[in-house]
Amino acid sequence: MTALKAHEVERFLLRPDIAEGVFLVYGPDAGLVRESAHRLTRQFAGSDPGSMNLVTLEGSELDADPGRLAVEARTASLFGEKRVLRIRNAGKSLVMVLTELLDDPGGAAVVLEAGNLAPKDALRALVEGKKLGRALPCYPDSDETLIKLINETFSKAGIRAEADVATTLRENLGNDREVTRRELEKLVLFSAQSKVLTRNDVLVLCADNAAMALDEVIDAIGTGHAARLEDALARAIAAAINPQQLLGATQLHFATLRRWRAEVDLGKSPRDVLDGARPRPHFSRKASLEQQLRLWSDDAIGAAAERLHLATADSRKRYALQDMIVRRALLAVCMMAAER
C-alpha cells in the first residue's frame, strides 16, 4: 500500500522513490493536480515539452479504446529512452489495463490526472494497492503552504519582497494553485526590472480594490480619522465606487456595529463578540473594529444611522449634488467618532 499523505507529495515530486509504474495525481485543487502532474512528467521525461518519449492523452480518447494505453506504454522509444505517458481526466475505464501495467510496466511511467476521488474509488484503490503505484493527493493550499510558495517563487526570481508582501498576498489570494501561480507570475513579471516588490504593488495588481476601498472608508469613519477618510474616499473614487454604494456600505456597517454593541452591553468583550461573529470579520480589520465597539455607544450609533439615512434621502432628491451630500455626511459621522 502506497498512499501518500498530502504533506509528503512535495518531497516525492522532488525525488520519486520509483522510476516506473502508475502515478495517480488527484484531488479537489485542479490547478495543483495539473502542476504536480507536469512536474512528475518532467522528472521522468526531461524539460523538453516536445520530447519524443512523452505522450499526452485525454481520458476521453481512451474511454472507447482503453487498450491503446497499454500499446502506447509498451511501444519502444525511438532512441531507447523511458516511455512516459500523461493521461488527463483519467477515469474508471482504465482500471483493467492499468492492472496489467501495474504488474508489469515494462519501464514505462504512466502519470494520471484525476479529480477528487473517494478512498473506495476503483482507480484510486487500484493504484494505492500496488507496489508500483503511487497516489498523490492534491488539496487546496493552507496558509503555511501558500506562504512557502510565495517566498520560494520570489526568492527563485531574485526579487526582494517587503516583509508584509507574503501576508498581503495570502489575504487576497484564494486557495486554487493555478490562480495563485498566475498571480505570482504577474508579480514576478512586474518586478523583473526593479527586483523589488512592495505591499502597494500587491494591492494594485492583485487585490479586490473596490472591497478594500470600502473597508478603508468605513474604518476611517468608525475610528474618527478624517485625514484617513479623505485618502480612502480618493481610492474609492478611483475604484469606481459611486456615492450610493458608499452610503449603503456605511449604513450596513453601522447596523452590524449596533448589533455587536448590544452584545457588548450584555457583558461580552469586543474581542469575544468579533470572534463569535458570522461571517467573521477579516483579521486585518479586527483592531479597528474592536476600537469602534469601544468608541460607539448604542445611542451614538443610532444618531449616526439617522444622519446616514437623511443623507441617503437627500442625495436621491438632489442627484446632481449627491457627491457633496455624501462627503459631508460621511465626514460628519467621522467627526462624531473623533469627539468621543
- Asked, for residue 181, whether it belongs to a domain, the answer is yes
Q: Between vectors from CA 291 to CA 274 and to CA 280, what angle results, nearest 5°?
A: 20
pTM: 0.56
Cis peptide before 140 (omega within 30 of 0): no
Record the cell numbers describing residue 255, joined without a space: 447596523
Output the domain CATH number for residue 96. 3.40.50.300
Which residues span the domain enclosing 23?
6-137
Quick check: 153 and 197 in contact, CB under 8 A? no
Q: Between vectors from CA 190 to CA 185 and to CA 196, what angle results, nearest 5°?
A: 105
- Asked, for residue 1, whether it belongs to a domain, the answer is no
- H runs (alpha helix) in 239-340: 243-265, 270-276, 286-295, 298-317, 322-338
| DSSP secondary structure letter of residue 110 | E
Whether residue 107 sits in one domain with residue 37: yes
Whether residue 160 sits in one domain with residue 221: no
Domain boundary among the residues 188, 206, 224 is at: 206
Whether residue 165 sits in one domain with residue 286: no
Whether residue 156 sits in one domain with residue 133: no
Burial string for 219-244 (b: 16+ CB within 10 Å, else e) reads bbbbbbbeebbeebbebbeebebebe
Whether residue 322 sits in one domain with residue 287: yes
Distance CA 284, CA 140 (A): 22
Whether residue 180 sits in one domain with residue 119: no
Output the domain CATH number for residue 232. 1.20.272.10
Enumerate the β-bridge partners of residue 133: 22
Whether residue 126 sits in one domain with residue 11: yes
Looking up cell 500499446 gives 71
- Asked, for residue 295, whether it belongs to a domain, the answer is yes
- Asked, for residue 51, whether it belongs to a domain, the answer is yes
- Asked, for residue 43, whether it belongs to a domain, the answer is yes
Reported as a single tens digit per residue, the pLDDT across 195-244 is 999 988 887 787 665 677 788 899 999 999 998 898 888 878 766 788 88
Whether residue 322 sits in one domain with residue 220: yes
Reading the chain (340 residues) residue by residue, the pLDDT tens digits are 567 888 889 899 999 999 999 999 999 888 889 999 999 999 998 876 556 688 899 988 898 899 999 898 888 765 557 789 999 999 899 999 999 999 999 889 999 999 999 999 999 999 999 999 999 999 887 778 888 889 999 999 999 998 888 888 887 776 677 778 888 988 999 999 999 999 888 877 876 656 777 888 999 999 999 988 988 888 787 667 888 889 999 999 999 999 999 999 999 999 999 988 887 787 778 899 999 999 999 999 999 999 999 999 998 888 888 999 999 999 999 999 988 7
Domain boundary among the residues 206, 227, 256 is at: 206
Domain boundary among the residues 119, 137, 155 is at: 137
Q: Which among 266, 246, 252, 244 has a CA at the least distance from the CA of 301? A: 252
| DSSP secondary structure letter of residue 133 | E
Burial of 117: CB neighbours in 10 Å, binned 0-12, 13-18, 19+: buried
Record the cell numbers describing residue 186, joined without a space: 504577474
Whether residue 38 sits in one domain with residue 93: yes
- Asked, for residue 24, whether it belongs to a domain, the answer is yes
Whether residue 97 sits in one domain with residue 179: no
Distance CA 207, CA 230 (A): 20
Whether residue 213 sits in one domain with residue 194: no
Question: What backbone phi and psi angles, to 5 degrees, belong to 13?
Answer: -65, -30
State the total domains in the chain. Answer: 3
Record the cell numbers describing residue 191, joined without a space: 518586478
Distance CA 26, CA 46 (A): 22
Q: Count of residues for the chain?
A: 340
Whether residue 130 sits in one domain with residue 13: yes
Query: In the chain, what is the straight-line distance between the N-terminal and C-terminal CA atoms, in Å?
Result: 66
Q: How far is CA 29 from CA 25, 41, 241, in A?
A: 11, 18, 33
Rg (CA), the chain: 28
